[in-house]
Amino acid sequence: METLTRKQKLFNFPVTKIIFALIAFMAFVVVGQQIAGKLLGLTALDKDIRNLFKGIIVSALAIISYSIFFKYYEKRAVTELVVKGLAKNLIIGTLIGFVLQALTVLVIYLNGGFNIIAVNPISFILIPLTVAFTIAIIEEILVRGIVFRIIEEKLGSYISLSISSILFGALHLANPNSTLLSGLCITFAGFLLGAAFIYSRNLWFPIAIHFAWNFTQSGIFGAITSGNEKTNSLLISKIEGSTLLTGGEFGPEGSAQATLFCLIAAIILLALSHKEKKIIKPYWKSSDFNNQL
């Protein structure tokens, strides 16, 4: 019985859960992506349509693998992916992401650094749309669903928010044209996304913010996103000026105003979460822990 108890403690240890979850999630998604790519490659579909279908398949695999893994590993209902309130979370999250990115570009425009050269057909948004929703789902499940949520159970909301946000920023340092400044900016974006999860206790809300932020930046305004190459977009634009305001080769999300807007939004969400008692305390401050002393 003692050996079983030790095994249970080991499997319930946060680092163990995170490692197993990451392995299971990535294996499921990567293998599924390869199979989907091979099968779609056998069709006569246009490349953009194939990529759209592959994005949908990969996103579905990410959601399914997360749900199945934690349903059996943690023996619970995966409430953070329930469809109840789905429309509300997606609509409000999308609006927040769009407004924050639009304000970021507006600052560049008011400083004479954003110029529209041409407007493309609406079909040009297909590629950035596919990329945006796929990345949003995968990154939010990895960082907020796995890392943040599991750490929060033991260390509480604020410590987990700090750790996961720094990790989110650090991961983007591997992107092309990244700098310490852009990494810091992405860290604050991660702070917002973590705050969105705390407030909603639902992954759809930060997924929607993340999607709209990226899609508005690359798919609508035609800007670079996270240092990657430009994709097709609704607007063909030219962005120039101070790196502090434009984000330089990393894109507008690496700008000072983007950081400020994300921080303001995060503070508002955390204030609302505090008011509604959604902040989780670290285990040493919990009533159960204190009762054991």
3-state secondary structure of 84: coil
DSSP state of 179: -
Reading the chain (293 residues) residue by residue, the pLDDT tens digits are 444 577 777 788 889 999 999 999 988 888 888 898 888 888 888 887 888 888 899 999 999 999 999 999 999 999 999 998 999 999 999 999 999 999 999 999 999 999 999 999 998 998 899 889 999 999 999 999 999 999 999 999 999 999 999 999 999 998 988 888 888 999 999 999 999 999 999 999 999 999 999 999 999 999 999 888 888 899 999 999 999 999 999 999 999 999 999 999 999 999 999 999 999 999 888 765 555 54
CB 203 within 8 A of CB 143: no
Alpha-carbon distance 278 to 280, whole Å?
A: 6
3-state secondary structure of 56: helix
CA atoms within 13 A on the CB side of 143: 32
> For the chain, what is the total number of helices (H) and then of strands (E)?
12, 2
236, containing H or E segment: strand 235-239
Q: Which of 86, 207, 65 is nearest to 144 (CA)?
A: 207
Q: Where are the domains of the chain?
A: 1-77, 85-281
pTM of the shown model: 0.92
Reading the block at residue 217, the tokens are 């930046």
